[in-house]
Amino acid sequence: MKLEKEANKNHKNLEAHLNELSEKREKVYLGGGNKKIESQHKKGKLTARERIDYLKDDDAFFMEVGTFTGEGMYKEYGGCPSGGVVTGITKVSGRTCVVVANDATVKAGAWFPITAKKNLRAQEISMENKLPIIYLVDSAGVFLPMQDEIFPDKEHFGRIFRNNAIMSSEGIVQIAAIMGSCVAGGAYLPIMSDESLIVEGTGSVFLAGSYLVKSAIGETVDNETLGGATTHCEISGVTDYKCKDDKDCLDTIKKLMDKLGHHEPAGFDRIEAKPPLKSEKELLDKFPYDRVKPYDMMEIIERLVDESKFDHYKEGYGQTLICGYARIDGWGVGIIANQRTISKTKKGEMQMGGVIYSESADKSARFIMNCNQKKIPLLFIQDVSGFMVGSRAEHGGIIKDGAKMVNAMANSTVPKITLIVGNSYGAGNYAMCGKAYDPRFIFAWPTAQIAVMSGASAAKTLLQIKVASLKAKGKEISKEDEQKLLKEIEDKYNEQLSPYYAASRLWVDEIISPLETRKMISGGLEAANHAPITKRFNPGVIQT
């Protein structure tokens, strides 16, 4: 009865999270709103999402990356839903590829700072996984009020064109369709691609529009004559294909993709996929509503892996990390997951769940080496509070063993995918392959929290610092004011803990439902299988 009551609480909590996720997605999918969508249609143009839907194969899954990019940002400018660009992985004419589509319903597709970051992330996915990339260009260029935050730095706008050049040299196919405005520096992206298409009547590409030409050199010319489809396909030769409308343009891309040659895969093992024996739907019952409550991570893993089969590595040793082999949608994977149960060592010591101890770190380092030796991709499942602290841990060499784990993980040559299901705090985020350690993809459940420490711990620490600072200035603070200040600090910190805060800034690629986990991980592994491993694994200095 008690277990059933707990399951009901867990289910209701996760269901509320999933309802919020669904509502937020629906809002984001509208881009700049219904009026802007209608305006796009009146011009004879499809929206960014409609273009992708028409372009991809009918039975293909569109694995979106960065749905919530820009969430809650740029409020003074009316916001920037999905960063003003839709990106993801799908199949076109049977070929797996990255698609980048400017959303002209959001500030005419103008580039905000986060737009550049998202475009760079899409190119990074293409480069890491050796996937062709298709750009559906419809953009007014740099958002001028924020030009200082997007134009001059290393990871700003210019990096896009640098990547165009690098990708071309590496043989990564780039196809660009000019389906709307394409102006100034943005004009280089399609022309630095391998092949470019332009839509008659709506597509235009030039370094300076008619107004700027008039003010700069006094010439009067309309945009179509300056840089329309006829100009660039018949006079300048800048573009390769002239298309009568959006659908004709997308059909032409399908024909180009259909002729692509095939490259050698990485060779990761895959057999026929089999569903978990334990129902995936029970994930909603098993993940605890109370994020500090212990639970058995194996209850989660067994509902994600094929036939609920998991082969443990060193099961009785270093029990706060689970390591072992399984299959997800047929793909062979090595899984490293934080165990949230309280365990007892052979010495009779109690170990807290979600904390990485010396033996756990040592075990995972060895397991990572084994997976690299066997060419098995790695999946990290995070619900971690951090590394163990205190004199016993320090005397036992926790820093040395943690360094072993980080060394092996950072130098891994097999692809890594990270899934954050709960806490992702402090150095635990790093050791379990956080964003800084180049996971091919990083996904988060809506229950995830990412920060240096938990909200409660951080708020109390920040409050102590604030109170001490006030007292140093000779100011006394009442208990009521102290509680008010604590609430203000907690509210701000809790906002930053939200997975949507992380997704807005692309610290995670996508927020997903637990029920979408197998599909997203499988999609990530399929993408990774397109890039052969060319580098020999060397874990660096591993002290013993």
Query: CA 521, CA 394: separation in Å to the nearest integer?
Result: 36
> Alpha-carbon distance 6 to 525, whole Å?
34
Taking a C-beta distance cutoff of 8 angstroms, is the pair 102, 137 a contact?
yes
The span from the CA of 258 to the CA of 94, in Å, is 7
Residue appearing with tokens 């194996």? 298
Provide the token pair at 25. 């997605």
d(CA 405, CA 411): 10
Q: How far apart are CA 181 and CA 35, in angstroms?
A: 19
For tokens 């920060």, name the residue. 451
**Gap between the Cα atoms of 347 and 396, Å rounded:** 14
Contact 286, 10 (CB under 8 A): yes
Residue closest to 537 by CA, chosen among 441, 417, 408: 408
Question: Where do runs of H (alpha helix) occur along 303-396?
Answer: 358-374, 391-395
- CA separation for the pair 491, 455 (Å, rounded): 9
pTM for the model: 0.94
Burial (CB count within 10 angstroms: exposed 0-12, middle 13-18, buried 19+), residue 395: exposed
Amino acid at 413: T
* The pLDDT of residue 327: 98
Q: Would you say 105 and 72 are in contact if contact means Cβ atoms under 8 Å apart?
A: no
DSSP state of 260: -
Percent of residues in the chain assigned helix, strand, coil, to nearest 5? 45, 20, 35
- Close Cβ partners of 371 (under 8 Å, ≥ 6 residues apart): 334, 377, 378, 412, 414
Quote the pLDDT of residue 1: 64
For residue 173, give the DSSP letter: -
Q: Which residues pair with 63 in a beta bridge?
A: 89
What are the CA-CA distances from residue 460 to residues 91, 187, 352, 456 (Å)? 49, 51, 22, 6
CA gap 225, 215 in Å, rounded = 17
List, in sequence order, every residue forming a beta bridge with 311; answer none if it has no partner: 325
pLDDT by residue for the chain (544 residues), tens only, comes to 677 888 999 999 999 999 999 999 999 999 999 999 999 999 999 999 999 999 999 999 999 999 999 999 999 999 999 999 999 999 999 999 999 999 999 999 999 999 999 999 999 999 999 999 999 999 988 888 898 888 888 888 899 999 999 999 999 999 999 999 888 767 788 889 999 999 999 999 988 777 778 888 888 888 888 888 899 999 999 999 999 999 999 999 999 999 999 989 999 999 999 999 999 999 999 999 988 889 999 999 999 999 999 999 999 999 999 999 999 999 999 999 999 987 776 676 667 778 999 999 999 999 999 999 999 999 999 999 988 878 888 878 888 889 999 999 999 999 999 999 999 998 999 999 999 999 999 999 999 999 887 767 766 777 778 777 777 777 777 777 778 877 877 788 788 899 999 999 999 999 999 999 999 999 999 999 999 999 888 887 665 5
Instruction: List the one residue out of 344, 343, 304, 341 whose CA is nearest residue 324.
Output: 304
Q: Give Cβ neighbours of residue 101 (< 8 Å, ≥ 6 apart).
A: 48, 49, 51, 52, 85, 86, 87, 135, 136, 138
User: For 170, what's the count of Cα atoms within 13 Å in the CB-facing half-sphere?
Assistant: 18
> Can you give the length of the chain in residues?
544
pLDDT computed for residue 480 by the predictor:
79
Q: How many whole angstroms separate alpha carbon 85 and alpha carbon 134?
A: 13
Longest distance between any two alpha carbons in the chain, whole Å? 86
| CA-to-CA separations, 467 to 84, 97, 476, 477, 496, in angstroms, rounded | 42, 54, 8, 7, 22
pLDDT of residue 542: 63
Beta bridge partners of 522: none
Q: For residues 36 and 31, what is the distance between their CA atoms, to the nearest angstrom?
A: 8
Upper half-sphere CA count for residue 8 (Cβ side, 13 Å): 5
Strand 241-243 and strand 321-328: the pairing is unpaired
99 neighbors 134 (Cβ within 8 angstroms): yes
Distance of alpha carbon 410 from alpha carbon 351, whole angstroms:
26
Pull the structure tokens for residue 280: 């995936």
The DSSP bridge partners found for residue 243 are 199
What is the per-residue pLDDT for 143? 86
